Amino acid sequence: MFTWVEDHLKLSRAWKSRECLDANSQSAALQSVEQFHTPISINPIFGFEIMRITVLRLGHRPERDKRITTHVGLVARAFGADEILIDGRDEGVVESLRDVVNRWGGSFSVADGIVWRDELRRFRDSGGKIVHLTMYGSRIDDVIEEIRSCERIMVVVGAEKVPPDVYNMADWNVAVGNQPHSEVAALAVFLDRLFMGKELNRDFGGRLEVIPAARGKVVLGRRS
């Protein structure tokens, strides 16, 4: 998700077109590089603000949840997350998501066989912050600014029943509305609010790219 710049600032055409960095920010960054010759981490969505997002899919049931968990992964990737961890094993879901990354680009990673309690504990102990999406949580508008200031976030997306320990281990239990809805919708809305819509303009650099069109379908294919 991050591009490392050492001797001079390299901004891609995609970054410039969406104005992630204004002229003053570009100038300041270049002066910093020239003066200190130290790497700068640039988030292509937020400019200089570093934010790494892990999505933890809780309670995956291979016999029932293949489609919904696949959609959780697709939304996580498309809306700015860096990786998805799946509680349980499902090679089919993993292969499907990795195939999307291979064809459509980005550095999104997928792992299954995760033990959720151990993963949450390790993440929290290493300094990361945990966000649990639940219709019973705090209103998203009341906490999103505070969450946005974090460097590393694990977003927990549950299944039918979420263990009470998840609520207790989370730094924030966040509600995207307090009505019954899909976990896929909750993740999409949360990430879009987190990135303020800028994640939709990200250039994934894949072998396939959709060219926006008023009518029809235009897909650009690149040689690998």
Q: How far is the C-alpha of 97 from the C-alpha of 219, rounded, in Å?
A: 20
Q: Which pLDDT score is estimated for 192? A: 97
Instruction: Return the pLDDT at 160.
Output: 74
Question: How many of the other CB atoms lie within 10 Å of CB of 185?
Answer: 14
Helix (H, G, I), strand (E, B) or coil at 166: helix
Domains and CATH numbers, the chain: 3-42 (no CATH), 52-201 (3.40.1280.10)
Residue with tokens 């819509």, as numbered in its chain: 197
pLDDT of residue 224: 61
pLDDT at 215: 94
- Checking if the pLDDT of 48 tops 50, the result is no
pLDDT in tens, 140-183: 999 999 999 999 999 999 977 899 999 999 999 999 999 999 99
Taking the CA atoms of residue 77, residue 79, residue 80 and residue 84 in that order, the dihedral angle to the nearest 10 degrees is -40
pTM confidence score: 0.78
**Which residues are bridge partners to 11 per DSSP?**
none
Mean pLDDT across the chain: 83
Secondary structure (3-state) at 85: strand
